[in-house]
Amino acid sequence: PRKIIIDTDPGQDDAVAILLALASPELEVLGLTCVAGNVPLSRTQRNARVVCELAGRSGVKVFAGCDRPLARPLVTAEHVHGKTGLDGADLPEQVMPLQEGHAVDFIIETARARDGITLVAIGPLTNIAAALRKAPDIAARIDEIVIMGGAYFEVGNITPAAEFNIFVDPEAAAIVFASGVRLTVMPLDVTHKVLTTRPRIEALRALGPVGEVVAAWTDFFERFDREKYGSDGAPLHDPCTIAWLIRPELFSGRQINVEIETQSPLTLGMTVADWWGVTDRPKNAFFVGSCDADGFYALLTERLGRL
Ligand code: BDR
Ligand code: CA
C-alpha cells in the first residue's frame, strides 16, 4: 500500500477523508498530523482522534502541530463547521492518546526514514511548510503532496479571490508550491462538483453507525450551502484527495504553473493558476479540473460500508 500522512484540520469533510483513507487497503496511514484551521489546534487534534475511534482504529498515530500560520493570525471557519469543527453528531470523548512530539518533527522523521511517502494536505499548509523549511532535504524524499486547496474558475470561498486553506497561510502555501516536490492540487473547481445531494447522503446513512455519523455531519455542514446559496448539498472537499490516490481515473487535470499571492490585501492567498499556459513559468503542479462525481460517491459509499 501507498504510505501516507494526512495533514488535517478536522472539519467534517476532513473527517470523511480520514475515514475513507482508513477504510482503503490501497493506503497505509502512517499518521495524522493536525494543524490549526477550521477550528483551533486544541480542537483539531481532538477531532482527529474522535474520527480514528469512530473508525475503530485507535492505534493510528495522531500528532499536534502548528497552532497558527507562519506569519499571520489564525482565521477559522466555525461559520461552516460549527463551534467544535465536528458539529452535527454527538460522539464520545476520545480516549486514545495524542502522540508526544510535534507534527512537524514526525513529518521530517518519517520522510527521512521511509523513501517515497505521500503527504495529503487537507488544511492550511503550515505544518508541511514548516517541515520543508526546517529540513529542506526531505523535499527530495517525498513522493508527492496531494493538496485540497485553491481555485481557478470558482475563485474563492473565504474571500472573493481565495480558497480557505491557502488563504489562512499563504506564506506556507508559497513555500510548498516552490518546493519542487510533485504536487497534485484539488481546487474548489473540482470539490464544488462533488455535492452531498439527498440520494447520495441517504445511501451513506443506510450503511449503519459510521454512515449515520457521516450523514449527520454533512446535514450540518451543508445547511450553510443550502441556506446561503440554494445549492443542492455541500461540496465534500477533502475526501477528493483520498479518492484521487485510490481511483485517479475519476479525475482529470493539467500540469501547470501555480503561484500563490502573498502580498496584495485584495487577492491574498489567490492561486494564480496558468491553466492556459500563457506564461513560461515552471509547471509545478498537477491542477485537477474535473471529477466523476457519481463515481466518487460510489467509491465513498462502498468504502465507508467496510467500517
Ligand atoms: C477547505 O477549507 C475547509 O473548510 C475544508 O475542510 C476544506 O479543507 C475548503 O476550502
Ligand atoms: Ca480541511
Catalytic residues: 237
* CB distance 103 to 64 below 8 Å: yes
For ligand 1, is residue 13 a contact (CB within 6 Å)? Answer: yes
How remote is the CA of residue 101 from the centroid of ligand 2, in Å?
22
pLDDT at 219: 94
Task: Point out the ligand 1 atom lying closest to the alpha carbon of residue 164.
Answer: 10
Per-residue pLDDT tens digits for 187-211: 999 999 999 999 999 999 999 999 9
Residues 6+ apart with CB under 8 A from 142: 111, 116, 117, 118, 119, 181
CA distance 80 to 202: 21
- DSSP class of residue 85 equals S
pTM beyond 0.90: the answer is: yes
Of 12, 148, 193, 195, the one to substitute when testing ligand 1's pocket (max ligand atoms within 8 A of C-beta) is 148
List Cα–Cα distances, 1 to 118, 142, 246, in angstroms.
11, 16, 10
Question: Measured from the CA of 148, which atom of ligand 1 is nearest?
Answer: 8
**Closest ligand 1 atom number to CA of residue 9:** 6
Which ranges of the chain would DSSP assign to H, the alpha helix? Answer: 12-22, 41-54, 78-81, 103-113, 126-134, 164-168, 170-177, 188-191, 198-205, 209-229, 239-246, 293-304
CB 14 within 8 A of CB 49: no
Angle at 44 between CA 62 and CA 137, to 5 degrees: 55
So what's the pLDDT on residue 229? 81
Q: Is the CB of 148 under 6 A from ligand 1?
A: yes
pLDDT in tens, 51-63: 999 999 999 999 9
Query: Over its length of 307 residues, how does the chain's per-residue pLDDT go in tens digits?
Result: 999 999 999 999 999 999 999 999 999 999 999 999 999 999 999 999 999 999 999 999 999 999 999 999 999 999 999 999 999 999 988 889 999 999 999 999 999 999 899 999 999 999 999 999 999 999 999 999 999 999 998 889 999 999 999 999 999 999 999 999 999 999 999 999 999 999 999 999 999 999 999 999 999 988 888 888 888 899 999 999 999 999 999 999 999 999 999 999 999 999 999 999 999 999 999 999 999 999 999 999 999 999 9
Ligand 1 within 6 A of CB of 38? yes
Distance CA 88, CA 217 (A): 5
198 C-alpha to ligand 2 centroid (Å): 22
Name the closest ligand to CA 235.
Answer: 1
- How far apart are alpha carbons 231 and 228 in whole angstroms? 8
